[in-house]
């Protein structure tokens, strides 16, 4: 991503409705997993570290991040052991077996996503979990995706095929950001017709009352996830597990 995007993310990811809502949903999903008390967690593509504090509630956190600027910001939080690295070829960690690997809006940045998931599978301990999120639906492609250097957006069937192709067992897969799908879709489609030149337009912080309302609406999906599968949404969430083989 552009360096300017990382700077904006650090400024707002602790308060912006989208980051906070996704964090609450992922936290809720993790709380349902059968993790050991001495859990080892890898945040793969940890960015500027906005999820490290939440993840540390579940165990010992490690992280890898390919962008040096983002890694430096993440390390300044003093949470976990963070390293420079990228998928699928450059993963150097002192801890080589994890109970949980988190991959939040990372897979869409990687050319070889199947090989990357195979590498992550090899880092999982017996019956270890992989939890990931990706953006959904190609028709939603916009300047947002280009700014963030995305390679693709996914459908549920495409993501299922990729995860299974890496030899992982899918436990749960759903669309999410369901309630706001109509509004966000209209905004993304409108920007195709009238593109903005402002970098990071989607990272602007709304009025506190609007931000609070959007956070409440978005994070209310915790009532459904991971109990139900939502039929559509701006993003996808999956939980997979390393099998016995």
More confident residue, 152 or 195: 152
Residue-wise pLDDT for 116-144, tens only, equals 999 999 999 999 999 999 999 999 998 88
How far apart, in whole angstroms, are the C-alpha atoms of residue 200 and residue 162? 29
What structural domains and CATH numbers belong to the chain?
Answer: 3-241 (3.40.50.150)
Average pLDDT over residues 175-191: 91
Residue-wise pLDDT for 64-99, tens only, equals 999 998 999 999 999 999 999 989 888 888 877 999
* Beta pairing, strands 235-241 & 169-176: antiparallel
pLDDT reading at 245 higher than 60: no
- CB-based burial label for 56 (10 Å; 0-12, 13-18, 19+): middle
User: Is 218:114 a contact under the CB 8 Å cutoff?
Assistant: no
Tokens describing residue 106: 């990372």
How far apart, in whole angstroms, are the C-alpha atoms of residue 1 and residue 146? 9
Virtual torsion, Cα 188, 163, 64, 71, nearest 10 deg:
0
Residue-wise pLDDT for 11-69, tens only, equals 789 999 999 999 999 999 999 999 999 999 999 999 999 999 999 999 999 999 999 98
User: Is 97:126 a contact under the CB 8 Å cutoff?
Assistant: no
User: Is 51:26 a contact under the CB 8 Å cutoff?
Assistant: yes
User: Is 155:136 a contact under the CB 8 Å cutoff?
Assistant: yes
Average pLDDT, the chain: 91
The answer for residues whose C-beta is within 8 angstroms of residue 150's C-beta and 6 or more apart is 108, 109, 135, 141
pLDDT at 189: 84
């Amino acid at each position: 991503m552009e360096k300017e995007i990382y700077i904006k993310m650090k400024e707002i990811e602790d308060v912006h409705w989208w980051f906070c809502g996704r964090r609450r949903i992922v936290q809720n999903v993790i709380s349902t997993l059968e993790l050991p008390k001495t859990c080892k967690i890898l945040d793969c593509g940890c960015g500027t570290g906005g999820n490290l504090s939440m993840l540390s509630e579940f165990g010992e956190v490690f992280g890898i991040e390919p962008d040096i600027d983002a890694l430096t910001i993440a390390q300044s939080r003093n949470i976990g052991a963070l390293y420079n690295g990228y998928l699928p070829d450059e993963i150097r960690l002192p801890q080589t077996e994890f109970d949980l690997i988190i991959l939040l809006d990372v897979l869409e940045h990687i050319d070889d996503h199947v090989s990357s998931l195979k590498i992550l599978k090899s880092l999982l301990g017996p019956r270890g979990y992989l939890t990931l999120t990706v953006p959904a639906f190609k028709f939603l492609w916009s300047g947002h995706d280009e700014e963030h250097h995305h390679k693709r957006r996914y459908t549920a069937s495409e993501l299922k095929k990729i995860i299974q192709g890496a030899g992982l067992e899918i436990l749960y897969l759903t669309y999410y950001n369901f309630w706001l799908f109509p509004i966000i879709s209209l905004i993304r489609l409108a920007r195709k017709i009238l593109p903005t030149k402002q970098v990071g337009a989607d990272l602007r912080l709304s009025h506190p009352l609007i931000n609070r309302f959007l956070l409440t609406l978005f994070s209310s999906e915790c009532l459904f996830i991971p109990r139900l599968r939502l039929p559509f949404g701006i993003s996808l969430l999956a939980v997979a597990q390393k099998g016995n083989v």
